Amino acid sequence: MKTLVLQLQAAGLGHYRPWHIFIGTVSVAAVVGGWAQLTFQVLGLSFSIAIAVIGLSFELISLRAKARGDAIGKLWPEVIESLQSAAKSGIGLIDSISEVGESGPWQIRKHFANFVERIDSGQSFDDSLTELKTELGQIHADRLIELLRIVHMSGGAGYLESLSAQVKISRSDIATWGELESKQGWVTGTAKLALVAPWVIVLFLASRPENVVIYNTNEGLTILLLGLTVSLVAYRLIGLLGNLEKPKRVFVN
């Protein structure tokens, strides 16, 4: 459950709860499965399509989280350098964060602007940082936000040196993971396409009445359910063996 919460945050959907996603996904799967049953009249195929819709929904969330994480991740060196420049100019911590909300990268500008609005409305600095971290849902954001929290508590000792170190770490991480993912991405993508291909053939076959009769026998239903089981196991193995294990977010509750 915590993994799904973190993934929703990474996808920019942190305002939704896991049960919202489950209910929505199952509802859509039921509708699509019902449509498939009316269209093909094959119970085993309709059930498989409903399960596929559920899997596709979580796959889309994962892809959105990855795409958003990659896009936002590339911005952090620029954000950190902006804070560093503001600190060198003697600008206060909250004012420097406010500048990011006004003139920072547009993808994350609103999140920093929301942070300043919460501060202006009387919310505590710590709570505002926690909400900012939840909105951004990204490991580089976690590191920067926890640094800002420590700086606020300590009065700014070592702030500039810490920002310089964070810039170097962020640039190194972005370059390393970008190269690895460009090589690995096509492997898992090809494997998932190969997993879908047999089911496309089944859909074409199910459009013929004589095949519908065969699929609705006990043997046909068994074959479809066995194929679904094999596909689910293969999909899980692709996820376990094919995906690169990125560093996990540790500065979260």
CA nearest to 227, candidates 50, 59, 56, 45: 45
Average pLDDT, the chain: 87
Q: Mean pLDDT over residues 15-23, rounded?
A: 89
For residue 76, what pLDDT is reported? 86
CB 235 within 8 A of CB 195: yes
Exposure pattern of 192-205 as b/e (b: 16+ CB <10 Å)? eeeeeeebeebeeb
For residue 13, what pLDDT is reported? 85
**How far apart (Å, rounded) are the C-alpha atoms in residues 149 and 135?**
16
Q: Within a domain: residue 152? A: yes
Here the tokens at position 241 are 């063996």
Contact partners, residue 81, CB within 8 Å, separation at least 6: 163, 167
For residue 54, what pLDDT is reported? 94
For residue 36, what pLDDT is reported? 94
Handedness of CA 144, 149, 152, 155 (dihedral sign): negative
Number of domains in the chain: 1
pLDDT at 252 over 70: no
For residue 178, what pLDDT is reported? 76
pLDDT at 160 over 70: yes
| Structural domain that includes position 138 | 76-173
Q: Within a domain: residue 139? A: yes
Handedness of CA 236, 239, 245, 251 (dihedral sign): negative
Q: What percent of the chain is modeled with pLDDT above 70?
A: 97
For residue 251, what pLDDT is reported? 67
pLDDT digits (tens, 9 = 90+) for 210-227: 899 999 999 999 999 999
Q: How far is CA 62 from CA 1, 69, 104, 130, in A?
A: 14, 10, 26, 23
Higher pLDDT, 156 or 163: 163
- Torsion of the alpha carbons at 140, 104, 174 and 253, rounded to the nearest 10: 10
Q: Mean pLDDT over residues 45-60, rounded?
A: 93
Here the tokens at position 142 are 């976690």
Query: Confidence class of residue 1 from pLDDT cuts 50, 70 and 90?
Result: low
For residue 86, what pLDDT is reported? 86
Token pair 């206060």 is at which residue? 92
How many C-beta atoms surround the C-beta of residue 207 within 10 A? 10
Q: Within a domain: residue 151? A: yes
Q: Within a domain: residue 130? A: yes
Q: Within a domain: residue 97? A: yes
Handedness of CA 123, 125, 127, 130 (dihedral sign): positive
Q: Within a domain: residue 90? A: yes
pLDDT digits (tens, 9 = 90+) for 193-204: 899 999 999 999
Q: Within a domain: residue 108? A: yes
pLDDT digits (tens, 9 = 90+) for 24-51: 999 999 999 999 999 999 999 999 999 9
Q: Within a domain: residue 128? A: yes
